[in-house]
Amino acid sequence: MARPRRLWALCALCACARAQVLDSPQGLHLEANLQSDLMAGTASDAVHSQPLQTAQDGADAASEVTGAASTVSSASAAGEENWQVLQSSSLKIAVLADGGLGQPFYRSQQTNGWTKLTYGSKHMDCAIKVDGHLAKLSGELDVVKTTASAFAARSQVTLNAVPQAQVLRSYSFLGDGMVFNITFTFTALTDVTDLQVYLGTSDDWIGTSDQPRKEQGHFVQGQFQPEAHGKVLRVQSSDEAVFAFSPNPDSHAIILQHYGNFADVYAATMSDMSRSSSDGAYGIYVPCGHLARGETKSATIFYAAAGASELDHLLEVSAKANSAGHAVALPPTPATPEEETAQ
């Protein structure tokens, strides 16, 4: 039987700072729950091999190799515990102590259990780039909201240890709990020429499938219509479907044919491929563009998942979230258009 592995180092991309740890009995309880879920979910991973052999560059590759090489390390160092687990009736995902996101799960109607949506015990991968360079999230995590189903915390985006922006990471559910709203709100501390956000996974897996079908497309009248360069990413197996998308009109769904290096995802701003069924990687790219000092912009990514038997409902709530997100991203601007155009 495969043993659970913990790839703590993987979140180094998005959230490098070690936040202070709240030593709560509740936190330990939630941690224990997640651990048992991981144990339940890893049995069929043995067929998939991690890229142990290739020493690629980039923090992601380095940490991936480390994570794959280590076996069990449940006694993680202080600061590496989950902050809490966010849960709806349909989805579950841990917030890590550094404010990043852990492994996503959906509740399967068939088994009535939590089913994982990334390979192994992988966290969500996330990257923020400032002026073309991978930035870090650092500074003490300032938690502004924490409930069983929502979390928000501030930290700083730094480049070469120089603060570039404040970021508020907000996580919440909508769409009957089937849709997870991941919103990063940036306020520039200096003039930032180009800010880019990526969220996804360097190694796809949903349910028991290591080669889920990934497709770009659109929501059209309550259906998903595959189309090259469509901004909605559908990841599907015979048992479940995931939709990941951003309401940002310039966002892209990136699909890679190979797995193992999120740096390859965040190197792209377009996808060469509009569909793939290989063991690959994917991410949603949200360009925020230029931020003048003091300017605030946000990037929202919706991550929705459900079992195949609930596909109609999933489509409905996902399409609604997309429209609602568009309304937030592109507010009607009759009264004060200067707010949008001032640079």
What residues line the site for ligand NAG (CB under 6 A)?
170, 172, 174, 181, 183, 300, 321, 324-325, 328
Pick the closer one to ligand NAG by CB: 165 or 263.
Answer: 165
| 202 vs 246 by CB, closer to ligand NAG | 246
In the complex with ligand NAG, the residue whose CB is nearer, 165 or 321, is 321
Question: Closer to ligand NAG at the Cβ: 276 or 300?
Answer: 300
Q: Helix H segments across 42-108?
A: 59-69
Residue 208, token pair as written in the block = 């028991």
Min separation Cβ 281 and ligand NAG, Å: 25
Within 13 Å and on the Cβ side, how many CA atoms surround 96?
Answer: 28
Q: How far is the CB of 150 from ligand NAG (least distance, A)?
A: 8
Which segments within the chain are labelled E, that is strand? 82-87, 91-96, 101-107, 114-116, 125-130, 133-134, 136-146, 151-159, 162-174, 179-188, 192-201, 213-220, 223-226, 232-236, 240-245, 252-256, 275-276, 281-291, 296-307
Rounded to an integer, what distance in angstroms lies between the CA atom of residue 25 and that of residue 39?
A: 21
Q: What is the dihedral of CA 221, 224, 228, 229, to 10 degrees?
A: 80
Beta carbon of residue 157, minimum distance to ligand NAG (angstroms, whole number): 17
Taking the least distance from each CB to ligand NAG, the nearer of 17 and 152 is: 152
Q: How far is the CB of 300 from ligand NAG (least distance, A)?
A: 5
In residues, how long is the chain?
343
Q: Do 134 and 13 form a contact (C-beta atoms < 8 A)? A: yes
| SS3 state of residue 54 | coil
Q: How far is the CB of 36 from ligand NAG (least distance, A)?
A: 30
Distance, in Å, from the CA atom of 325 to the CA atom of 248, rounded to the nearest integer, reads: 8
Minimum distance between the CB of residue 319 and ligand NAG, rounded to whole angstroms? Answer: 12
Nearest residue (CB) to ligand NAG, 155 versus 170: 170
- CB of 312 vs ligand NAG, minimal distance in Å: 20
**Residue 245 or residue 266: which is nearer to ligand NAG going by CB?**
245
Spatial CB neighbours of 129, under 8 Å, sequence gap ≥ 6: 135, 194, 195, 196, 197, 198, 266
